Structure 1
């Protein structure tokens, strides 16, 4: 059986059809996977186009290429000349591969005809400006006068209104005179670019401090190849134009003039997307002749990294939340990660245990953390991987921390992931003491991850000090100690895996976020999941004034 039968038969059919058109095929590959075609159009000076059948054809659509110099001249043409035709494969293409080719060539013809209208061209360039900017940056990096600039710079736009005089940090690798910029960080606020690079593990090489000018463009401004500055003079003109003369680039450069050569950058923000220029202005002694070099900007601020600029009202509320998390084990660690990735801005995690090799199968940490405090390595991981959050770690027992460090009003929410009855009892005992006025969420999983439980207590609710979890909440009846015992004092473990606890952690985090968003009721709610399915809602009636008592099943 010919494993290439769908492709080979389709390619032969396409070749026969193309050659039936006199003068259409200029050249073809022996393998019949591409053809150079005559393409007569005023926007194609070469008069040629290339039809390519990818290996997955007809399951993949055919591709069309034109001269690379059409990129940024005609919309929807990439830097390698590939035309984004928008044509998708269809089930009928297996029976009619010629139909797929017809659609692709027709899409090219329609694109070229539409591009004769300057207004349509500009609209398309503006609609996908970031993609065209990346293509422009690639063109400049490949130009004869290119400088060794990075592909991307990282920028924190926190606090940016319209204009900000920010900071720049460039990390270079290589010997003096041949150094390449390995990483560039820019900040619009008080954040230091170097500390930001260190935090995210990118501070490699020699650091040089510089200056960054941030400017938010008006929403009505057409950010297209036609308006992108290509010289220092044009850049200064654009800065003056969009700031209504408030900022003059030569004056800004002169203000930051230094005895030592410094890097400079101008970063424009249009909507949620940022676009950068790295400068070597002649006003700074010792630098090369004036030049500007476009560079892509990767936003590191929490507004973009955690929410892509959407739902910022909720995000900003969460970023103000001070959450105390007790327990950083197989449940607490992923819950902590879910919370900070969901925008919780200030997290304090408490756990006294160290990571052991046998934890690897179900903990978010891995073997490189063995022998180290879980909570310290969790803190390092979250600070490195999640921008804009504050994470503090306390390697001590939860009960000790609550008794010695917690004061009324210190936290907006307390989350207990220890699954220890003694800790739940302590939290109940401190309900009107150190935890006065603070919502508390208690969570645990039953043996084998048979069910996950979340008890959310409002400021007036008190969990019975008798801790009725096993008697009134747990779904199943378990032996007194269902653990697999180990030959050590009091040691043992429950059998479950990463997928089991991961499912529970997602559920728990979602319910904790409800509490963090201040959507608690005055009745404690206990949500149950069994192997991922929400099987019901159990309401627990709690007497806010009681120090002990029973719980009863609600509807």
Structure 2
């Protein structure tokens, strides 16, 4: 630090004499004003790292005895308030220190002294619960975390749920396909046993002053919610008499949850060297609870339509460069069931554009893709059928399908699907990419509107460019043709297609429309010389990319 900065620190009216430090961080105690009784803080200090001027941030710390006693004191004693704006802010080191100190008094000391921060324990309840759990964790405790698959409900319940012993996690929630898929996804073949769970709704979040600290506190709360008889049955194995099964409690407050492992379960076993040691489960242990229900995993409670999407069944025909990422995006968007139909296997030429990689070469695209989706996004049940859509329709109907996506670009598929839709009242999206993904198109046809009109297939007329023959390439020693484009360019088409599908699923489209994503003339010139847009698409010429929507 320059001498001028040293002088600034030594003479600052809010900083006391520098403390001796054993590392490269400088520490200066902060002046603490007189505070009301019950609001006392005996000390706080500012830490200024060696690379403060160019890279690192200064921060304020309080003694660790204030953790879970005063809001905004983190697990390491760091005071979590807005502070040092950092070296990229353009502020000088002096200005940064002044801002940090000013905020310490204005955003922390003053409101704390007036009791204005007391409610912050409730506002950030899960943050403090996480700190509490981390301080109580032991190397030998049998369960580390609880995952819940149930939506929040106002009803208390008791049920058995899976316990993945090697990972020391419990998947709590009613027996359901979603819970079972999460178990399969997260267990990876490891041992699964059973725990008994009590799920108890509470009307307010726990905070350090009121969260249960003894088994009697837990028993009192659970008895009130379950009633004496059910509570007695649930607690009957707590203690030394019966160690056959672990018991957990999940308290569900609005927007957050708190877990406990009760004492009295079977001992945990830990391998040390060549020996296997058993450790009794005699303590009440707080546990973190993390949600796995679809409202949280797909929309973080911000998109209520994601719950309705769980009831939707989407049939995707074509699982290639467009179909495979669209399927994944729909799974992540909350769609509950995907049926994937494609008779192709993954080749070495596919992996640069497909969501599957080299480990799937030679395998059915849809088989591997469906398994991958079901494992990674367990709220979606994906099924793959390695066959043509014509063959699939011989043994299946569209009666339980809500929407069909034709991503093949094949005219006979478009015709067959149009015919089948006349038997079933379902929506349709037809989407494709032009060479280089210079443009992409998604046609949205609500139920009752059809693709073929006047015995005509409209696909080529909707292209933005008349492509010369030399743009379409042939694979060596094969009549199969392909287009030139990168996976990065195809992301535009993936987004266009996925959003079009979701708009139909969410009932936001009432009449047939087409959406075009068109790159500008500059992009065309980079791809191939002499390319020109059709007259209707020339409005995109001056843009890097433009979405145009028309009636279909």
Question: Would you say the 8 A contact 1:415–1:440 is kept in 2?
Answer: yes
Counterpart of 1:423 in structure 2 is 413
After TM superposition, give the deviation of residue 251 of structure 1 in Å.
3.6
Could you say if the C-alpha distance between residues 457 and 216 of structure 1 is closer, same or farther in structure 2, counting changes exceeding 3 Å?
same
Q: CA deviation at 1:259?
A: 6.1
Contact 1:335-1:509 at 8 Å conserved across structures: yes
Structure 1 residues 86-125: aligned runs within 5 Å: 86-89=82-85, 96-110=92-106, 111-117=108-114, 119-125=115-121
Structure-2 change in CA distance of 1:147 and 1:46 (3 Å): farther
Give 1:289 deviation, angstroms.
Answer: 6.4
The equivalent of 2:197 in structure 1 is 212
* Residue number in structure 1 paired with 2:403: 413
Q: For the residues of structure 2 that align with 1:92 and 1:343, how far apart are their CA atoms? A: 39
Contact 2:68 2:128 in 1 (8 A): yes
The answer as to 2:248 corresponding to 1:265 is: yes
| 2:119 aligned counterpart, secondary structure | helix
Q: Is the 8 A contact 1:443 1:453 kept in 2?
A: yes
TM-superposed CA distance for 1:166, in Å, is 3.0
Q: 1:424·1:467 contact (CA, 8 Å) conserved in 2?
A: no
Deviation of 1:306 after TM superposition, in Å, equals: 0.9
SS in 2 for 1:153: strand
Q: Which residue of 1 aligns with 2:70?
A: 74
* 1:451 maps to 2:444: no
The question of whether the paired residues in 1 share the 8 Å contact of 2:158 and 2:197 is answered with yes
* Secondary structure of residue in 2 paired with 1:25: coil
Which string of whole-angstrom CA distances, capped at 9 and with x for unpartnered residues, describes residues 480-527 of structure 1? 5742211333223211011111110111110111111233334x2111
Match of 2:451 among 463, 485, 491: 463
1:201 correspondence with 2:186: yes
SS of 2:7's partner is: helix
Partner of 2:534: none
> In 1, Cα distance between the equivalents of 2:316 and 2:409?
12
Distance in structure 1 (CA, Å) of the matches to 2:179 and 2:461: 53
Compared CA separation, residues 414 and 96, structure 1 to 2 (3 A): closer
Per-residue CA deviations over 1:358-411 (Å, capped at 9, x if unaligned) read: 212111111111111111111111111113221111111122213x13325221
Question: How much has 1:31 moved relative to structure 2?
Answer: 7.8
Flag the 1:193–1:445 CA change in 2: closer, same or farther, 3 A: closer
Please provide the CA RMSD for this pair: 3.2
Question: Which of 475, 485, 504 is matched with 2:464 structurally?
Answer: 475
Other-structure match for 1:179? none
TM-score normalised over the length of structure 2: 0.83
C-alpha distance in 2 between matches for 1:514 and 1:194: 28
Distance, in Å, in 1 between the alignment partners of 2:382 and 2:335 is 10
Contact kept in structure 2, 1:383 and 1:391, CA below 8 Å: yes
Query: 1:533 is matched with which residue: 545, 548, 551?
Result: 545
Q: Which runs of 5+ in 2 are unaligned?
A: 268-277, 520-543
CA distance in 2, matches of 1:296, 1:30: 35
Distance 1:35-1:259 versus aligned 2 partners, 3 A rule: closer
Contact 2:171 2:183 in 1 (8 A): no
Paired residue for 2:306, among 315, 321, 346?
315
2:360 aligned residue (369, 374, 377): 369
Runs (5+) with no aligned partner, structure 1: 1-7, 174-181, 541-555
Given that 2:145 and 2:169 are in contact with CA atoms closer than 8 Å, whether structure 1 keeps it comes out as yes
Match of 1:25 in 2: 17
CA distances 1:58-79 after superposition (whole Å, capped 9, x unpaired)? 6654211222221101111111
What do residues 302-343 of structure 1 show as CA deviations (whole Å, max 9, x unaligned)?
11111112332x223211111111111110111111112111
Q: How many residues align?
A: 510
Query: Contact between 2:242 and 2:264, CA under 8 Å: does it hold in 1?
Result: no
- Per mean C-alpha deviation after superposition, the further-off stretch among 203-212 and 375-384 is 203-212
Deviates more, 1:223-232 or 1:476-485: 476-485
Task: Show the counterpart of 1:489.
Answer: 478
Using a 3 Å threshold, how does the CA distance of structure 1 residues 165 and 109 change in structure 2: closer, same or farther?
same
1:116-135 correspondence runs (5 A): 116-117=113-114, 119-135=115-131
CA, structure 1 residues 55+92, in 2 after alignment: closer, same or farther (shift >3 Å)? closer
- What is the TM-score normalised by the length of structure 1? 0.83
* CA positional deviation for 1:196: 4.1
1:199-218 deviations in whole A, cap 9, x for unaligned? 32334543321111112211
CA contact under 8 A between 1:439 and 1:458: conserved in structure 2?
yes
Q: Distance in 2 between matches of 1:100 and 1:518?
A: 51
Of 150, 154, 161, the residue aligned with 2:147 is 154
Residues 26 and 472 of structure 1: is their aligned pair in 2 closer, same or farther, counting only changes over 3 Å?
A: closer
Deviations 1:266-316 (A, max 9, x none): 1112222222111223899x994642111111211111111112332x223
CA contact (8 A) 1:418 1:444 kept: yes
